[in-house]
Amino acid sequence: MAETSSNAGESSTSIERRGIDVIRGLAMDAPHAARSGHQGTAMALAPLAHVLFTRVMRYDASAPDWADRDRFVLSGGHASILQYAMLYLTGYGLSLDDIKDFRQWGSQTPGHPEVHHTAGIEVTTGPLGQGVANAVGMALAERWLRARYGAELTDHHVFALCGDGDLAEGISHEAASLAGHQGLGRLICVYDDNHITIDGATELSLSDDAAKRFAAYGWHVQDLGDAGEDLDAIEAALLEAKSVEDAPSLVVLRTHIAFPSPDQTDDPHAHGYSLLDDEISATKAAMGIPDQPFWVPEEVVDYYRAAGSRGADERSAWQQRYDASTADRSGYDAAMAQTGVAGWHEALPAGESGSSVATRKASAACLNAAVEGVPAIIAGAADLTGNTGTEIKGAAALSSAEPGGRQMYYGVREHAMGAIMNGMALHGGVVPVGGTFLVFSDYMRPAVRLAALSRAKVIYSWTHDSVGVGEDGPTHQPVEHVMALRTIPGLRLLRPADTNETAAAWQLAIDGDGPTALILTRQNVPELAGTNAAGVARGAYALSEAANPRVVLIGTGSEVSLCVEAAAVLASSGIEATVVSMPSWDIFNAQDPAYRDAVLPPGVPKLSVEAGVTLGWAAYADASVGIDRFGASAPGDVVMDKLGINVDNVVASARALISGESS
């Protein structure tokens, strides 16, 4: 419960200052109660947060999912108590008990903000720099929706708060460069220039000029200097940034960590949990507020709740515009639902028996077949558009000149691409498709992990999926990557064998939620008889089933055809073999035990065949044909053959397994 104080009737200025004091008190008290957290940054940024949530941002706290709300991204997610304090005070549904439960099991106030967990949190942040790139993606999505469906439905801004750590990470440079190139005028980042890192002053490792760097990227830059406590100066800078339509904005704000602590202001220790009982008491005395934990006077709550409800009229007006809109409502609604219109999948291609095609090309055909029926799709790649099957034929390049274009060019920026895609997806209205070579998924992995954690609906087109890449050699030949990606909880990973399986994978990606990884070949592979969507939808299925199998051959992707050929060779010598295609471990693992046993019958020896590391296959197979080493530079078919990914080795390994000679 908020407490009543005797300060009713305070002036606007005094109630604002009292509110900022309360935020700072919560920023100290919640981590202290948890004996964990980050106090100093939240204390220093209380005035900025106050201005954003009471004077600048457009939102309705009672409707946190309103499509046309301004977005707020706390890139430095360690300062989460700042955001939680604002969400509590402005009425998003958090209670004071939630604030007291900071960082505890099952609480609504975890250590770093988590989207879909706490109302009002737009993205999951924590790893530094990710939020900056997320905000770029959100600004791209906002502009794209505005261009395609009109400002009557989409007309808002994206605010991001970042610090020295965010701007030290390389991902922020990638994302800022692209944002400047794109001229994202609705993106406003505030740089908390507090000169503090965990190790000490930023001068230990950082001497670049952020204002000049962002200006060189094409951003509109305002350096406010030491104005961290000047509410009017902060407001004026943010309003000026909102008026800039042709460039993203950076507001540089010098703050003092842990201010107004008498002893720990500007102390690097205040980055973490450093203000304890005596320090908290001294700071509260300096602010002139009671020395009691979680002190929140009723008039402060009333003041912030009024700010939080101020956008209700604007939301109501938006709803009226939506109801009366003459825009493509079916397209807009499908886009916002991140799905296809009825029957969209009927346009997906089917394989032509007897032919062969690279699954990256099959995926490109699926993308182009789906793009009309799935209006939210924006596709692009990290400088590998044609190579990765992410080109939309005839689509305009998404740019400041063509803000409604559907072809995105990320440049050689894999890491930023992954995080920008997350921002697009979590903004809503966009299903981003992004491509690069599978070996370079390593460059994207932090963003991929966050996509899975956030359930962001993104589609990865990772191609050149094995040593079949060939002459480029081991630097470009993935061997451990598929297995490494399978370890990410919540990432739907599919390695299809041909066009039919690729089309089925696309249907799962669009009709499902969360991120989907398509693992695709560079080289042509045969179109196989019997591949089907129903089997792919269950993760694994018997492609050819023997009446009395002596061995089960389990393949994925390009190796399924090897299993089919090997089964034919074994059959010629009287050995029956069932061939199982297993495009997706995670989907298969979710099936009921009876189905899993029907596909992989207990008691029958099983051999896995995949052109990658064998680690992990023991969960399904008694022996494995794979590649537990790096590749080599040579034509792809030669490398495959030399490393044992061939019919003869599969047959020999199956015979050894049957005879009990397999190691």
What residues are labeled active site?
A: 414
Distance CA 301, CA 292 (A): 17
φ, ψ of residue 50 in degrees (nearest 5)? -60, -50
- Alpha carbon distances (Å) from 32 to 63, 100, 264, 280: 31, 10, 15, 9
- State the first-to-last Cα distance of the chain, in angstroms, to the nearest integer: 67
Categorise residue 489: left if φ over 0, alpha if ψ from -120 to 50, beta otherwise: beta
Reading the block at residue 146, the tokens are 């505005």
Distance CA 345, CA 533 (A): 11
Distance CA 146, CA 154 (A): 5
Distance CA 228, CA 46 (A): 9
Q: How many CA atoms lie within 13 A of 423 on its CB side?
A: 33
Q: What is the DSSP string of 107-127?
A: -SS-SS--TTTSTT--S---S
- Alpha carbon distances (Å) from 343 to 111, 132, 194, 347, 458: 43, 37, 54, 8, 21
φ, ψ of residue 377 in degrees (nearest 5)? -70, 130
Which candidate, 458, 476, 472, places its Cα nearest to that of 380?
458
User: Residues 6 or more apart from 320 whose CB is under 8 A from it?
Assistant: none
DSSP 3-state helix, strand, coil percentages of the chain (rounded to 5)? 45, 15, 45
In contact, 27 and 255? CB cutoff 8 Å: no
> Any idea what DSSP says for residue 369?
H
Burial (CB count <10 Å: 0-12, 13-18, 19+), residue 278: exposed
In contact, 520 and 363? CB cutoff 8 Å: yes
Three-class SS of residue 213? helix
Reading the block at residue 147, the tokens are 């261009």
Q: Which residue's entry shows tokens 């905000």?
A: 135
In contact, 465 and 454? CB cutoff 8 Å: no
**Amino acid code (one letter) for 459:** I
Reading the block at residue 50, the tokens are 């106050």
Distance CA 129, CA 37 (A): 19
Which candidate, 397, 604, 433, places its Cα nearest to that of 518?
433
Helix residue ranges, H only, 527-603: 533-536, 559-572, 585-589, 593-599
Distance CA 559, CA 496 (A): 10
Helix residue ranges, H only, 400-498: 414-427, 441-454, 481-486
**Amino acid code (one letter) for 7:** N
- For residue 532, how many other CB atoms are within 10 A of its CB? 13
Distance CA 54, CA 334 (A): 33
Distance CA 360, CA 387 (A): 8
Distance CA 640, CA 467 (A): 6
